[in-house]
């Protein structure tokens, strides 16, 4: 999973994926470090779920290590420790799958090779090939959160993943939050020119009527007839995962960094409406003054700059977000409500 300074990069990468593979080390001591409080294994699994990765493959690697030697007891121990955590992160039983492997010797990667008899499931690549792609909404209004814009041989290009809708050459689009209209000149998938591209594809678009300075990370290309909403505040449901020791409670006025699709923006919690703890969901507290970690809270959040978002019911990928502070993920959540649109005269 890598170093914790790179988590923001991992967030914009994972927001493009449907299936995630979490590599867990079976070596004695390594699994424990990654999985204890504040470890990377936990944070990455949690972020994956928030960013819309529906299926998670947990590959337990280094099974050939001298401290493990393909012992089933070690594999079972890791599975029992990780499973409850996946459930609290929101994964259902049919959304994750464990398998043992060794990258060094290649066992159970493409074929079983020296995999012991106690494991009777599929090899890693076979399992990946058998996963059904998720259903997509390709008839709804277009939404493409952009990763980057650049100049290529004089042409202005935009990169992003289509989260909803279909894009075709010649289509008129509008860049939100700035409201600049432009046209898609041609559509490329992996350097091949296409007649159209549907939701779920990572695309490169050649644009006309726009300069690359307006195509920045976090802007969203959307349908001219039905553009994405731009807001500076919204109502959300948050799950508070972990708070830094120096600020152990979440109150109104708490400042953090807000990450959604590929955008990162400074934000502040405005007001807490209701909270309940993860363990006892029946006991709800109205208008709490503060919440601690391990609770679910409904609150309103304000952003430093206007940002293109949607509710979770509208476009999932534009409605999920994470809050980070002091280099760690403190909360995951979904947008439940945007401010009412003012009627334009």
Whether the pLDDT of residue 29 is over 90: the answer is: no
Comparing CA positions, the residue from 14, 126, 133, 113 lying closest to residue 63 is 113
pLDDT tens sequence across 177-221: 999 999 999 999 988 999 999 888 889 999 999 988 888 888 999
What is the reported pLDDT for 1?
Answer: 53
What is the reported pLDDT for 90?
Answer: 79
| Mean pLDDT, range 117-128, rounded to an integer | 90
What is the reported pLDDT for 344?
Answer: 43
Mean pLDDT of the residues in the chain:
87
List all residues 6 or more positions away from 10 whose beta carbon is below 8 Å from its beta carbon. Answer: 1, 2, 44, 47
Number of helices (H) and strands (E), helices first, in the chain? 6, 21
How far, in Å, CA of 167 to CA of 139, rounded? 10
* % of residues, the chain, pLDDT over 90: 45
Question: How far out from the chain centre does Cα 141 lie?
Answer: 21
* % of residues, the chain, pLDDT over 70: 96
Question: How far out from the chain centre does Cα 219 lie?
Answer: 17
What is the reported pLDDT for 133?
Answer: 78
Residue 208 vs residue 342, higher pLDDT:
208
What is the reported pLDDT for 217?
Answer: 87
What is the reported pLDDT for 345?
Answer: 34
Whether the pLDDT of residue 69 is over 80: the answer is: yes
pLDDT tens sequence across 84-104: 888 877 788 999 999 999 988
Q: Report residue 10: phi and psi, to 5°.
A: -65, -35
Whether the pLDDT of residue 40 is over 80: the answer is: no
């Amino acid at each position: 999973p890598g170093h914790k300074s790179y988590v923001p990069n991992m967030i914009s990468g994972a927001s493009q994926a449907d299936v995630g593979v979490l590599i867990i080390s079976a070596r004695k001591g390594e699994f424990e470090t990654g999985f204890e409080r504040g470890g990377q294994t936990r944070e990455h699994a949690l972020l994956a779920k928030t960013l819309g990765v529906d299926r998670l493959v947990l590959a337990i690697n280094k099974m050939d290590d001298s401290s493990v030697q393909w012992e089933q007891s070690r594999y079972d121990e890791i599975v029992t420790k990780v499973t409850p955590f996946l459930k609290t992160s929101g994964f259902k039983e049919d959304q994750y799958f464990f398998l043992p492997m060794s990258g060094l010797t290649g066992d159970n990667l493409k074929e079983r090779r020296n995999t012991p008899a106690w494991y009777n499931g599929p090899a890693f690549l076979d399992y990946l090939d058998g996963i059904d792609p998720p259903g997509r909404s390709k008839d709804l209004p277009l939404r493409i959160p952009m990763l980057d814009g650049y100049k290529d041989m004089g042409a202005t290009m935009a990169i992003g993943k289509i989260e909803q809708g279909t894009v075709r050459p010649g289509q008129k689009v509008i860049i939100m939050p700035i409201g600049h209209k432009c046209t898609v000149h041609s559509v490329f998938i992996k350097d091949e020119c296409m007649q159209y591209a549907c939701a779920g594809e990572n695309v490169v678009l050649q644009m006309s009527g726009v300069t690359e300075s307006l195509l920045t990370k976090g802007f969203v290309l959307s349908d001219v007839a039905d553009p994405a909403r731009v807001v500076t505040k919204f109502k959300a449901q948050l799950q508070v995962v972990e708070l830094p020791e120096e600020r152990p409670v979440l109150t109104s006025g708490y400042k953090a960094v807000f990450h959604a699709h590929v955008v990162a923006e400074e934000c502040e919690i405005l007001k807490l409406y209701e909270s309940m703890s993860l363990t006892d969901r029946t006991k709800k507290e109205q208008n709490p003054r503060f919440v601690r970690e391990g609770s679910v809270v409904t609150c309103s959040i304000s952003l430093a700059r206007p940002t293109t978002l949607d509710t979770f019911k509208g476009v999932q990928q534009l409605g999920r977000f994470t809050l980070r502070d002091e280099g760690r993920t403190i909360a995951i959540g979904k947008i439940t409500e945007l401010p009412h649109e003012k009627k334009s005269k």
